[in-house]
Structure 1
């Protein structure tokens, strides 16, 4: 199996200490990207659930402190891992036994793993975990816990530092002196002692607000903390904790409102000021490295730069997506911003110009609540190239390669400026491509306002000279009068398409071409027109499909299947009667079978025999999608689990079933997650890898993560997953020449994630002629010069046997 499509913005990314790498949480792995090229360097694989936090660790040496490629990661699988992300190797494990939602490590610069100084203090991690069992036994449902762990000795320290209704995101000051969380309408802040770090020894401070808080950030050096709330306001507390967090404090604070402007009664702070520009919930706050500015971001897609002394502000607008995280780098000229559209922009500071962008697959559209039950969004597949086509919030469609796990291109479908704050009023509801990918059809819907002004547009596109590049050919407004478009299908081998409507008819569209002479060149010019219209007893037409040779057109007229001659538009036959409206049709290869499924309380999957006009076999299944092979008599079904008691549901909420038309028993079965809203389709394997035209089964779940399954591999199981590189490196298979590290030390042994490894176990296998290739290869793959210098000089010396006299 090949998996991909993980979110790049589920958690905040982290820069390496030299600023040359960016570590990103991508599902169960950590992806390491180059900040100069935006390409994937390596991945850290070992966690079994989503990675939630990354903390990069400097390594202390006897000659001083140098920054190396080590980091700690936390995950919902309850594990804390310590990595060398340059190799990559898993060096240490710590089991927390509860899902970890956030982790910070104070004093990480002064207490480094790997220090040779015996007097070096231990390294402690603050983790925010979730104990689901507490929801049952605790009346207040305080399932979020803050705990402390000694990473040096792999032990838990003290008891519970705090309890919350849900796991909160931890924040830490750069000096490591303060750790805090936002808790509804207040901030909880602890001072972290340098010695005897136990939960009972830590002093706590509370700062109050009138609205629910959404994020917080500490000033790098001063006693200043900033917090954002759900209304878009930013609060700045200055001089906090002088009484309650001081080493010798603890007495009662004297309340003096005149000397503490803006501070609520009882809060330990010198002053509190409020800034307001954002119109929505504050997503992030970050103090600049020079300590003079504060960065803030929210749904508007604008980074606001506040001057701390004056409150004046500047803007970085037009990022065209709600913002999630803002991360600074040790390099003051570099930072990055994570956007809700699954994209990370690398910014040049202080101008904040975009240098590079790391793009993932677009996340599902979020429709208005009034339309979620009535409208649906259908994805498109370019089956010949292994590309999925998805609608985006900014009125485009994204072409995404399933094999390379990378974005191919964008096509602007709706000519409209996108404003993240505005409610969605226009969206792309349907995308369909021809089998060879040369033609594309999109359907866009404009939602009515106050019951008026709704509009449906059908657009046909023609592919250009490159994959993923399309030009608009024809626009048809209201193709079915006042009815919505339920489905679109292309006729194989012809410039013909059919669209069906809930208003009770379907229309055949054909492409007409004409040639015009422009100087010495002849250009083709043409468009799509309606050739014929059909209906069946005025019932809604819900689905359509062409046979493999294009000679038969099947239209679902609510509960029956009507068969038509697409060339003459004559009704040929009518098949059976389903128990509920049919949602999807698919001809099974070149066979005489067609598969359909119905939704609702009487959901059914039915295989029909066209030659006998009868049901072949059926299942009572709640089906989400169905697709079929183009050359074989097999089809795949995405089914949902249906339980009356939701408490027995597991993380696997669906299954993919592979059927052969002659046997109602599935050939293969895969259990999957997020099946609701998922899609299936067969795609051709990569060119050069399957000369026999082998097809892979692509499953896209409701979160737009995907798996490519091999139906012909009977040994493939759920536990055997092969993950391809998101940005594969270019290499040659002509000759296997050892370069760089391998030319001196030899190939690294295979690494098993179930065993803890140490970097000291790498064998020394010198090469016969290392000087020819020692400095070849990518710079990120080479060891430091301190390791290369000695072996390189030794390789230049001729070794001789010296006999004693």
Structure 2
């Protein structure tokens, strides 16, 4: 059966949080971070995302505070779109389009007439003014200010004092100060190297520049026409960083300077007191940007591992915000990119160095991170020399029937001029502490690279957990729990090999009764407890080794999909023969754990949805992304995705799970019926600050706390089958655009009756209605006044949760 319905690929998460510097709100309670086509707004008190600004005109390249309104921000996109947003309500107010690609944007609170944009790409750009009045519907008015502006700076535009003078860097070694009357250039000596960043003092006439040599220079009186030919404007020079300075920023009072680099240390320079300085060490990774709040009480540092640290001016990290890590993508094994975890209904990938991240793609956020290697993070340059342990394999226990949940990891220590040492670790989830604890460490489990790890699925018959590891040394090992001396640990219980060929991949059947192992171009079926070979299958493409193999699920449990470099073939274990062969190079393949369908991506980024028993794909999507596909995985729908599940109920392979695709930039995409990203992103109303809620949301929040003891609106909405979408529409809509109560009240009440139907026999208000357990459309326009009374009575009688009606009476 081929699906003719067209689906759309929408970007719903991932991307980089640190491409441009974050921006504090005026009161310092919110932090604006660009992330692909969205601006994520984080609360500095909780570190949670409380709002999203979604652009439909390309990736957002910068965000600034509106110089005329403290409750608005202005964003720029790579497509030349400038938009004014009401960030509390998350709606766009005004937009204009210029004729150039915008790479950076800047504003100053004392300049209310215009904002500055940098247009151009690569290293050199053009600086232009855009008048604020252009947003009110008047003709777009721009003016060119400067050319050959260095675009390699974290913030290529700066302002001196009251904002009347503009500062930028030209050709990497010239500081340019410009106002309406004159332009001054200060040549930087070659001994300090090129400028990597700069900052302007908000109070005095100071400019600080960071250099590739790690030196920081302070310049004075540049904006007053000083004689810069003999560097008389150079006031002082400081040096602590051993690598290029990534970014610098003055505190609001201008008394000190903050600097960061690849050392992962924030340095505060009290430059007026000589070489006096303080440090905030041991940050998560090499630093990229540093920003201060308007009152100077908080500092924000971004890192190259796509994380953000919110620290206080007392040198304490308050919150850490983590996105999908984008460091050393090309060095990671493809099997570790995104691994599905059945227990948390999330995926596992590498986070910061030596850590595993449990990432929830439905909410686009990190659930938690586990330190696997327990090693200190070295600087960026040292890490490139492989002086650390790298996680190469990970797997978790598939079944939830077992009393214990296990996770296995493999890490390899890569050091120059030394042999690589590997360690396989078994972790158990402590039910009391709700955290992973190390149980067993096995050094050099295989003589060479471990190519695959997989747990045997457990069932009600067997509670014993088993782990299988396949290695390039040609061995397949079965690991089980052994009790000795009152303690339990993992030990090898059986081994197997086939003609000394390397074992490249393995997989268990859904019930755990069959283990399939690929030895180069041969696939062997083994007994899962003894590892005895029971059957040998020869690949149709014997000239190329097997790259991946996957066993079918549910009605396709008897099928094996084998992928080699030039073909994909299906074996029928019941017939003992090849069912079909397709000459196609598949780079990624994933299974839907809730159905019998599989997803395959070719080397040209074409997606195929297949059922192992049929050679013809059910659905084909050409050219998923412009970048290379990094990974694909399917995640079962969560409670907040019920409305999306209903939209895809007629598509069998999207009825139970949601398909995600990630590309080389670690942007996360999903296939959906809607072509609007705003319609498929999950609601974040439950985590919003109270000041972001409208009056209806406040009533629901208060009622939920009283009746259920919980303050999560999504949990309250889950009481009804279709009520979640109605609650989402009411609570997420700004107060000033909500319709009248008469328009949405009836629809809101009838949403609780999605599974009820009144019989066609005529009834009256005095008679009790007859209810059938059948679905009906909740259209309030078709209900008579009498039926409204009956519906309210039936809801009260039908619903076992008293909290459902408590807050309705409050309305």
* TM-score under structure 2 length normalisation: 0.75
Residue of structure 2 in register with 1:127 after alignment: 117
What is the aligned length?
667
Deviation, 1:725, is: 4.2
* Structure 1 stretch displaced more, 168-177 or 44-53: 168-177
CA RMSD after TM alignment = 3.6
> Residue in 2 aligned with 1:103?
105
Which residue of 195, 201, 224 maps to 1:219? 201
Contact 1:213 1:228 (8 Å CA) reproduced: yes
2:111 and 2:163 in contact (8 A); partners too: no
Per the TM alignment, residue 581 of structure 1 is displaced from its structure 2 partner at its CA by: 2.3
Q: Does 1:628 align with 2:591?
A: yes
Could you tell me which runs of 5 or more consecutive residues in structure 2 were left unpaired when the two chains were aligned. 1-9, 459-463, 650-654, 702-725, 743-811
Separation in structure 2 between the aligned mates of residue 416 and residue 254 of structure 1, nearest angstrom: 48
Separation of aligned partners in 1, 2:591 and 2:93: 46
Task: Tell me how far 1:109 sits from its aligned partner.
Answer: 2.5
- Does the CA-based 8 Å contact 2:148-2:170 persist in structure 1? no
Candidates 310, 314, 327, aligned match of 2:278 = 314
In the other structure, the counterpart of 2:158 is: 172
Which of 182, 196, 219 is 1:237 aligned to? 219
CA distance in 2, matches of 1:716, 1:90: 20
Q: Is 2:505–2:548's contact at 8 Å kept on the other side of the alignment?
A: yes
Partner of 1:558: 520
Q: Choose which of 362, 369, 390 in structure 2 pairs with 1:403.
A: 362
Residues 290, 687 of structure 1: alpha-carbon distance in 2 compared, 3 angstrom cutoff = closer
Matches within 5 A, 1:286-325: 286-309=249-272, 310-325=274-289
Aligned to 1:187: 174
User: Does the 8 A contact of 1:40 with 1:725 survive in 2?
Assistant: no
Pair 1:37–1:719, CA change in 2 (3 A) = closer
The answer as to whether partners of 1:435 and 1:492 remain within 8 angstroms in 2 is yes
Within-5 A mapping of 1:589-628: 589-590=553-554, 591=556, 592-599=558-565, 603-628=566-591
Given that 2:177 and 2:223 are in contact with CA atoms closer than 8 Å, whether structure 1 keeps it comes out as no
Give the Cα separation in 2 of the matches to 1:616 and 1:445: 39
Partner residue in 2 for 1:85: 87
5+ long unaligned stretches in structure 1: 60-66, 112-122, 133-141, 194-200, 245-252, 258-262, 264-268, 517-524, 642-653, 752-756, 768-805
Map Cα deviations across residues 214-245 of structure 1 (whole Å, 9 max, x no partner): 1111111333211112221212222214338x
Matching residue of 1:672: 624
Matched, 1:509 2:457: no
Aligned counterpart, 1:22: 31
2:101–2:120 CA contact under 8 A, matched in 1:
yes
In terms of fraction of residues, the more helix-rich structure is: 2
Return the offset for 1:540: 1.2
Match of 2:660 among 671, 695, 698: 698
Distance 1:731 1:352 in 2: 26
Check the 8 A contact 1:379/1:431 in 2, yes or no.
Answer: no
Matches within 5 A, 1:162-561: 162-163=147-148, 169-173=155-159, 175-193=162-180, 203=183, 205-210=185-190, 211-243=193-225, 257=230, 263=231, 269-309=232-272, 310-349=274-313, 351-365=314-328, 372=331, 377-421=336-380, 422-423=382-383, 424-425=386-387, 426-436=389-399, 438-450=405-417, 452-465=418-431, 469-481=435-447, 483-493=448-458, 494-513=464-483, 516=486, 525-561=487-523
Q: Which residue of the other structure, out of 660, 678, 684, is the alignment partner of 2:636?
A: 684
CA distance in structure 1 between the aligned counterparts of 2:73 and 2:292, rounded to whole angstroms? 17
Shift of 1:177: 2.6
Distance 1:348 1:374 in 2: 38
Distance of 1:546 and 1:70 partners within structure 2 = 55
The alpha-carbon deviation at position 303 of structure 1 amounts to 0.8
- SS of the aligned residue for 1:152 comes to helix
TM-aligned CA deviation for residue 279 of structure 1: 1.3
> What residue number does 1:146 align with?
127
Say which of 13, 18, 21 aligns to 1:12. 21
For 1:638 and 1:529, locate their aligned partners in 2 and report how far apart those are by CA, in whole Å.
37
TM-score, structure 1 as length reference: 0.75
- Is the 2:594–2:656 Cα contact (8 Å) retained in structure 1? no
Tell me the equivalent position of 1:70: 72
- Secondary structure in 2 aligned to 1:738? helix
The alignment status of 1:157 with 2:142, answered yes or no, reads yes
Cα 1:739–1:725 change in 2 (3 A) is: closer
Please give the secondary structure, in 1, of the residue aligned with 2:477: strand
Secondary structure in 1 aligned to 2:407?
strand
Deviations, residues 506-526 of structure 1 (Å, cap 9, x unaligned): 11112235795xxxxxxxx42
1:457-491 deviation digits (Å, cap 9, x = unpaired)? 1111112227972111211111112x110111111
Could you tell me how far apart the structure 1 residues matched to 2:353 and 2:89 are?
39
**After superposition, what is the alpha-carbon deviation per residue over 1:16-69, rounded to whole angstroms, capped at 9, x for unaligned?**
11222211112211122222222222211124322121111243xxxxxxx631
Classify 1:383/1:763 alpha carbon distance in 2 versus 1 (closer, same or farther; 3 Å).
closer
Structure 1 residues 558 and 312: alpha-carbon distance in aligned structure 2, compared to 1, 3 A threshold: same
CA distance in 1, matches of 2:627, 2:504: 22
How many angstroms apart in 2 are the aligned matches of 1:401 and 1:468?
A: 18
